[in-house]
Amino acid sequence: MADGNSEHDRLTRRESLLKLGGLAATVAGAGAWAGHELLDAPTAGAAGTGPAAVASGLVSCVLAPEMTEGPYYVDGDKVRRNITEGKPGAPLLLRLTVVDVSSCKPIKGAAVDVWHADAGGLYSEEAALSTAGQTFLRGIQRTDAKGLSIFRTIYPGWYMGRTVHIHVKVYLGGRTVHTGQLFFPDSLTDAVYRRSPYNRRLGRDTRNATDSIFRNGGKRSLLVLRKSGNGYTGRITMGVSRS
């Protein structure tokens, strides 16, 4: 489902991964680990969960359960950092780090794919949602030497039956090594949703504690969130297995 005006900018997932490169090692199985903290907690409180701490072995890498990719996965996301395409919402800077779970060392060249709903709860590229041909809030980035990939997006909206989340996939050598979801503290979501454009929709029916997917390892996939200007910065480190 491609937009004719941007067809030349789009890549199939296979082409994207070949273009991005990655590790040549054969990979199978995957998982993710993450620490989490309260928004606006003291900086020192995050010292033990950041990428530097991971790389230095100050924390243990623990595999988290894999999670469903959901019904809105699309083969053909764009390679780009800014995925907003003008969609309104609270700015969110995602800093996603990929490390080798066996050594806790950052992995360079991993392809990280993210996608999520807009403030109105809609996903792009979905005919049933009247968004076919649109590509908002989807993108792929390659990790740098520190294992870091960065995305500029917005705080996700909600839809019936699910807590607020972002989908993520990680690829090494062109193969999927992790499929997961990233979550937000309900207290922060409540605060964000009191503002426009989120406050145009009422009746959010699912919170973390009542979300069946969150209950299956979601606490390990909570983003570490900080206030940043008029928006937020979210961090998480995902440990993936190469064997």
Domain with residue 161: its CATH number is 2.60.130.10
Q: What is the pLDDT of residue 15?
A: 41
Q: Give the pLDDT band of residue 111 (cuts 50, 70, 90).
A: very high
Q: What angle do CA 154, 171, 76 make, to 5 degrees?
A: 60
User: What's the whole-number mean pLDDT along residues 16-31?
Assistant: 33
Q: Give the pLDDT band of residue 78 (cuts 50, 70, 90).
A: confident
Q: Give the pLDDT band of residue 47 (cuts 50, 70, 90).
A: very low
pLDDT at 23 over 50: no
Q: How many residues does the chain have?
A: 243
Structural domain containing residue 19: 4-240
Q: What is the pLDDT of residue 12?
A: 40
Tokens of 112: 């990280």
Higher-confidence residue of 85 and 206: namely 206
User: What's the whole-number mean pLDDT along residues 188-200?
Assistant: 97
Q: Give the pLDDT band of residue 115 (cuts 50, 70, 90).
A: very high
Q: Give the pLDDT band of residue 44 (cuts 50, 70, 90).
A: very low
Q: What is the mean pLDDT of the chain?
A: 76
* Cβ contacts of 230 within 8 Å, gap of 6 or more: 90, 91
Of 186, 128, 125, whose CA–CA distance to 158 is shortest?
A: 186
Q: What is the pLDDT of residue 223?
A: 96
Of 86-90, 173-177, 197-201, minimum mean pLDDT range: 173-177
Q: What is the pLDDT of residue 167?
A: 94
Query: Which pTM was predicted?
Result: 0.74
pLDDT at 136 over 50: yes
Q: Are strands 231-240 and 91-100 parallel, antiparallel or unpaired?
A: parallel
Q: Domains in the chain: how many in total?
A: 1
Going 187 to 71 to 75 to 131, the CA torsion angle's sign is negative
User: What's the whole-number mean pLDDT along residues 61-66?
Assistant: 53
pLDDT at 11 over 50: no
Higher-confidence residue of 209 and 124: namely 209
| Rounded CA separation 176/10 (Å) | 20
Q: What is the pLDDT of residue 134?
A: 73
